[in-house]
């Protein structure tokens, strides 16, 4: 049985193991150097200061994760977030991504975020179809924006409005400002 929860320090090795092949073998991550487990741990801790980092766990092992971060750094962007998702090869194609993203978007909405963006390095038709099915709208392709694996790659940007408010919205709460009951109401569903 698969369970979902916020990432913990004990998950870092599994998260690292899932992420390394994306850096080493693909253009999906634009990183060139494989980050250390310590660096991944630092990223998880920093993310969880304000944004959700959700793990999917099966048999006490992380098999996938999704997280959000700042879209841009000016105050007016505070209601927007950028999302990422990574699954182990054995977990792909089984609906896990949908379950992770649904929970990530629900937590972001609960926090008070309005819009979530995703950038997909191309070619990646599986991720494009996935975001389309999750209700994201296609925005724009930024051409020749990254060079990896001996060639230029475009990045396809998508967005989903998760909580449209026209009035002056309150600043989004940090993930650490949500109660355990609020978090469990999303992750346990």
- Mean per-residue pLDDT for 118-142? 96
* pLDDT value at residue 133: 96
**What is the DSSP-derived secondary structure letter of residue 178?**
S
* pLDDT value at residue 166: 73
**Rounded Cα distance, 71 and 38, in Å:** 24
Kindly report whether the peptide bond that precedes residue 159 is cis, defined as omega within 30 degrees of 0: no
Q: What is the DSSP string of 94-153?
A: TTHHHHHHHHHHHHHHHHT--EEEEEEESS-HHHHHHHHHTTPEEEEEEEEEEEETTEEE
- Mean per-residue pLDDT for 39-60? 97
* pLDDT value at residue 72: 86
pLDDT per residue over 166-180, tens digit each?
A: 788 899 999 999 999
β-pair partners for 68: 83
**Residue 183 — pLDDT band, cuts 50, 70, 90?**
very high
Percent residues over pLDDT 70 in the chain = 99
**Residue 109 — pLDDT band, cuts 50, 70, 90?**
very high
Percent residues over pLDDT 90 in the chain = 90
Q: What is the mean pLDDT of the chain?
A: 95
pTM of the model: 0.94
- Mean per-residue pLDDT for 93-113? 95
């Amino acid at each position: 049985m698969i369970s979902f929860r916020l990432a913990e320090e004990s998950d870092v090795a599994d998260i690292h193991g899932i992420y390394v092949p994306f850096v080493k073998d693909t253009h999906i991550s634009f990183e060139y150097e494989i980050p250390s487990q310590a660096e991944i741990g630092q990223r998880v801790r920093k993310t969880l200061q304000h944004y959700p980092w959700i793990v999917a766990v099966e048999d006490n092992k992380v098999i996938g994760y999704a997280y959000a971060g700042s879209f841009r750094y000016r105050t007016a962007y505070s209601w927007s977030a950028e999302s990422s998702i990574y699954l182990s090869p054995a977990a792909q194609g089984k609906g896990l991504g949908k379950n992770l993203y649904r929970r990530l978007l629900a937590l972001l909405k609960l926090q008070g975020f309005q819009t979530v963006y995703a950038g997909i390095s191309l070619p990646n038709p599986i991720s494009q179809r996935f975001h389309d099915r999750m209700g994201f709208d296609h925005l724009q392709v930024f051409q020749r924006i990254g060079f990896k694996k001996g060639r230029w790659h475009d990045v396809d940007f998508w967005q989903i409005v998760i909580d449209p408010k026209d009035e002056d919205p309150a600043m989004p709460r940090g993930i650490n400002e949500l109660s355990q009951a609020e978090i469990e109401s999303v992750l346990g569903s």
